[in-house]
Amino acid sequence: MNCQLTVDTVRYRYAKGHDAVAGLDLQMGSGILGLLGPNGAGKSTLMRVLATLTRPTSGRVLWNGVDIARQPDALRTQLGYLPQDFGVYPALSAREFLVYLAAVKGLPSSTSRARVDDCLALVGLADAADRRLGDFSGGMRQRVGIAQALLNDPKLLIFDEPTVGLDPEERLRFRQLITDLAADRLVILSTHIVSDVEASATALAVMSKGRLLFSGAPEPLLAQAHGHVWEWLVPEAQVAQARAQFTISNSLRRPDGVRLRVVGAHPPSTDAQASTPDLEDAYLWLLTRDGGR
């Protein structure tokens, strides 16, 4: 089955005239699209438009050539969506909650329980299936949210800040899961955490202030940052001043001081050394050039 999503000059404007999404164009096929951007960039608004929950002010979204504003069911039957503010019914067990959502999604009752168990196993909750959701940790509830998005075996998966509340082990499990899922479907992963998409994304899109700053493979984004990343060893007492003055992508304490990774047009000091950019550096350089930081 095809997995082609086209965002054609999509704009979403609030009543007061502010553009949350300002005329975006994107073409997406099967694989993992990492949608990056700082908080307030418009990512969640775009995700709601793609999930048929919000109609764009102008422009259109096509799923395999069908306008989803005019025919939303063409996408909804093939959609799995985890919103940023996903909530649960605390009195229900994880299994009861997912069986209920399977019915809401229209899954046949004859197969829904087996599908629920499969999804709970995929997210590592098989042993906790009959525990009350009210007793779950935040990370466990987030995993329930991921499981509900998988119930109908969707061809389009949209995850909005899915690793919020997950510990490092859970983050790793999630990254492995979406890599496995993306073989024959489109996964859109919206996040402000670059490490969530660094190892798995086949394509990237970067938003800031409602606009699209970059779309494409990671390599061109990395190339843009070449020559604009520096490693600089400073005394610990100067770190706060350096953070106020420069864009710092990382820091590492050492016996002789703190080694900073600085992103900028020029070296922060004559003793700073050029460094090969990673994706976090490239993302920050793009935002810095745009005035987003």
Residues 103-151: tens digit of each pLDDT: 998 899 889 999 999 999 988 899 999 999 999 988 889 889 999 999 9
Q: What 3-state DSSP class applies to 289?
A: helix
161 and 73 part of one domain? yes
258 belongs to a structural domain: yes
Among 5-9, 115-119, 173-177, 280-284, whose mean pLDDT is lowest? Answer: 173-177
Q: What's the mean pLDDT in 212-224?
A: 94
pLDDT > 50? residue 4: yes
Question: Helices then strands (H, E): number in the chain?
Answer: 10, 14
Q: What's the mean pLDDT in 3-12?
A: 94
Domain termination residue (choose one: 150, 180, 197): 150
71 and 161 part of one domain? yes
Which own/partner pairs from 116-124 qualify as long-range (CB within 8 Å, at least 24 positions apart)?
Answer: 116/147, 116/151, 119/147, 119/148, 119/150, 119/151, 120/94, 120/95, 120/147, 122/147, 122/150, 122/177, 123/147, 123/173, 123/177, 124/170, 124/173
Q: What's the mean pLDDT in 288-293?
A: 68
What pLDDT, on the 0 to 100 scale, is given for residue 204? 95
What residue numbers bound the domain in which 266 lies? Answer: 227-275
288 belongs to a structural domain: no
Among 181-190, 265-274, 280-289, whose mean pLDDT is lowest? Answer: 181-190
Among 26-30, 104-108, 174-178, 241-245, whose mean pLDDT is lowest? Answer: 174-178
pTM: 0.88
233 belongs to a structural domain: yes
265 belongs to a structural domain: yes
83 belongs to a structural domain: no
Residue with tokens 């984004």: 221
206 and 73 part of one domain? yes
200 and 241 part of one domain? no
What pLDDT, on the 0 to 100 scale, is given for residue 3? 86
17 belongs to a structural domain: yes
Report d(CA 25, CA 8) in Å as an integer: 5
44 and 136 part of one domain? no
pLDDT > 50? residue 291: yes
84 belongs to a structural domain: no
Residue 293: pLDDT band by 50, 70, 90 thresholds?
very low
129 belongs to a structural domain: yes
109 and 142 part of one domain? yes
Q: Tell me 16's DSSP state.
A: T
